[in-house]
Amino acid sequence: MKKLLLLLLAILLVGIVLATLGPLMGLAFALLFIFLGMHYYVKSNSIVSKVLWIFVGMLGIMMAASNIPALVGLAAIILLYVIYKKWKDEDVSFSTKEEDDPFTNFENEWSKIQNKERF
Distances (CA, A) of 59 to 54, 65, 78, 100: 8, 10, 28, 42
**What is the domain partition of the chain in residue ranges?**
28-77
Percent of the chain with pLDDT over 90: 61
pLDDT digits (tens, 9 = 90+) for 34-49: 999 999 999 999 999 9
Q: Which among 19, 31, 112, 117 is positioned nearest to 66, based on CA atoms?
A: 31
Question: Is 118 a residue whose pLDDT tops 70?
Answer: no
**CA–CA dist 1, 116 (Å, integer):** 56
Question: Is 119 a residue whose pLDDT tops 70?
Answer: no
**CA–CA dist 35, 96 (Å, integer):** 26
Q: Report which of residues 96 and 70 the model is more confident about.
A: 70
Give yes or no for a contact between 57 and 34, defined as CB atoms under 8 angstroms apart.
Answer: yes
Please tell me the predicted confidence (pLDDT) of residue 115. Answer: 79
**CA–CA dist 70, 30 (Å, integer):** 11
